[in-house]
Structure 1
Amino acid sequence: MQDLTLLLDDRGFAYGDGLFETVLVRDGRALLWEAHLARLAEGCARLGLPAPPRDRLDPLPAACAPGLQVLKLVVTRGSGGRGYRPPAEPTPRWGWSAAAFSPTPQRWFAGVEVRLCALRLGRQPRLAGLKHLARLENVLARQEWDDDIIAEGLMCDSEGYLVEATAMNLVWLHAGRLETPLLDQAGVAGTLLAALDAETPLQRVRVEPQRLQQAEAAWVCNSVQGVWPIRVLRDAEGAVLRRWDVASDDPLRGLAHPLLGYPVGPDA
């Protein structure tokens, strides 16, 4: 049997008491690096953890192998305390890993099918927006389907309002304006979403899934995969709720992909 003593002793492993970032790295250069570190610093402040020092973090992208890599950075409260009571002066642990990554261009240009999830996200403003380690809700939501045709599942909160996809943010075009769910009660404030908001204003709204069905176009996106236009929206039982045509000159992809070094069009 493998010795798990160190893992069991760590509060991140035992309670999800920590944070993580997944960063796209291209030939040693991290994309949206400042946004990732800003979210990590905010998360540490909200959880009451000392943030890892910048002089230790900044060299990490250059240590990744050439090509396209995903750098995963994990910070936990470390060990100590008793039960749920954390140590008064935590000694955080942090570490990183990198793995080669290949995106799926077909999803950029042909679009994807998504479905609504039955699982509802609990509301907790103290954690809303953070990329914390306690992601069991997302795991259970992703467990709802195993059909590879479905690329993502869309999740609502306990009150029935749209929040996000299981691993991506959600954006749609309604009445000529770009909208995205409010993330003040649940969900992850994505770094690509923030970058898009800096390029063109996104209206934060608290709406039910019916609003999405009324949209002229819709997308899921994150800082690793890029932008996937939604082609088909299904309910939790698989029935089609809405279909969209996917534009070859997709406006959201045109804004997002240059930030990630991904092509804007299929012939690029």
Structure 2
Amino acid sequence: MHDTVIPFDDRGFAYGDGLFETVLVRDGEPLLWEAHMERLARGCVRLGFVGPERAMLDTLPAQAGQGLHVLKLVVTRGRGGRGYLPPADPQPSLRWQFSAFAPHQERWREGIRVRLCRLRLAIQPCLAGLKHLNRLENVLARQEWNDPDIAEGLLCDSAGRLVEATCMNLFWQRDGRWETPRLDACGVAGTLRAALLAERPIAEVAMDTDELAGVDALWLGNSVQGVWPVARLDDAEGNTVARWPITAIHRPLQNAGHALLGYPGLAD
């Protein structure tokens, strides 16, 4: 754990001027590490500062020891600057923390219930794909429900196109083809999503919410939890929009994701 007092003028604290990564670590070995490091480096370039040295970052996962942990990395531009104008020579800050972790295995097997959120994500291509520290949209969306039976909320952009869940990426099968939302306008480009796109025939498409009820299967996934099949979709008022029986159709994409994370495959 590396947790020091955050200076009042740290730009991550003041403005959300920074990035973070959440990495699954098994017995000291990070999963999808290259994808996490590439996204972090890409984010630093996009925000316009030099990130931590890769050699130093590579030493962190082994500190977790045995068992399953999540390593959270937080990188900010550092201190200073006049108002929003960043300092000419920023000194980025890095903090990290390990947390013991156990996945929701019952959600792998039984599927989950999700809802549509009222909140709409702002379209901002300059930040699209990044896992930046400005996550107020996700915070507001997650406050829309308190029902513990609802595992996640699905988010659209201001044009009504599906983007993601509050903390997971979205996949579906339609007419026998795997698809996922395009993330060129907003949303977080997850590392598990990137790995699946590289390995499997998944098309990036634009789709409105009213088309979602007609898909053959629906999943949520990220690099920590794995892949959850969706059994029920509600609207923002709690009315059921669609139900899907969890069957063999769900397992190929789910098992492909779990193979990348060292999680067990599932069969019906």
Distance of 1:47 and 1:162 partners within structure 2: 25
Distance of 1:5 and 1:202 partners within structure 2: 43
The one-letter amino acid of 2:133's match is L
Instruction: Look up the match of 1:256.
Output: 257
The one-letter amino acid of 2:86's match is P
1:83 shift after superposition: 1.1
> What secondary structure is seen at the aligned counterpart in 2 of 1:50?
coil
Deviations along 1:116-158, one digit per CA (max 9) or x if unpaired, are: 0000000100000000000000000000001010000000001
Instruction: Look up the match of 2:162.
Output: 162
Provide TM-score, normalisation by structure 2: 0.96
Instruction: Look up the match of 2:224.
Output: 224
1:95 shift after superposition: 1.4
The one-letter amino acid of 2:197's match is D
1:207 shift after superposition: 1.3
In the TM superposition, 1:28-43 aligns within 5 A as 28-43=28-43
Distance of 2:104 and 2:6 partners within structure 1: 37
The one-letter amino acid of 1:206's match is A
Q: Number of aligned pairs? A: 264
Deviations along 1:215-235, one digit per CA (max 9) or x if unpaired, are: 000000000000000000000
Distance of 2:169 and 2:6 partners within structure 1: 34
Distance of 1:68 and 1:19 partners within structure 2: 23
1:5 shift after superposition: 7.7
Deviations along 1:195-252, one digit per CA (max 9) or x if unpaired, are: 1112212111111112211100000000000000000000000100000011256111
Distance of 1:41 and 1:181 partners within structure 2: 23
Instruction: Look up the match of 1:195.
Output: 195
Distance of 2:151 and 2:265 partners within structure 1: 20
Structure 1 pair 5–65 and aligned structure 2 pair: CA distance change class (3 A):
closer
> What secondary structure is seen at the aligned counterpart in 1 of 2:8?
helix
Provide TM-score, normalisation by structure 1: 0.96
Distance of 1:47 and 1:232 partners within structure 2: 38
1:266 shift after superposition: 6.6
Distance of 1:244 and 1:75 partners within structure 2: 40
Instruction: Look up the match of 1:110.
Output: 110
Q: CA RMSD in A?
A: 1.4
Instruction: Look up the match of 2:100.
Output: 100
> What secondary structure is seen at the aligned counterpart in 1 of 2:152?
strand
Distance of 1:242 and 1:162 partners within structure 2: 16
Contact 2:7 2:79 in 1 (8 A): no
Deviations along 1:1-54, one digit per CA (max 9) or x if unpaired, are: xxx984421000110000000000000000000000000000000000102111
Percent of matched pairs sharing the same residue: 61
Instruction: Look up the match of 1:87.
Output: 87
Structure 1 pair 129–232 and aligned structure 2 pair: CA distance change class (3 A):
same
Instruction: Look up the match of 2:125.
Output: 125
Distance of 1:107 and 1:7 partners within structure 2: 40
Distance of 2:5 and 2:104 partners within structure 1: 38
Distance of 1:251 and 1:245 partners within structure 2: 15
Instruction: Look up the match of 1:235.
Output: 235
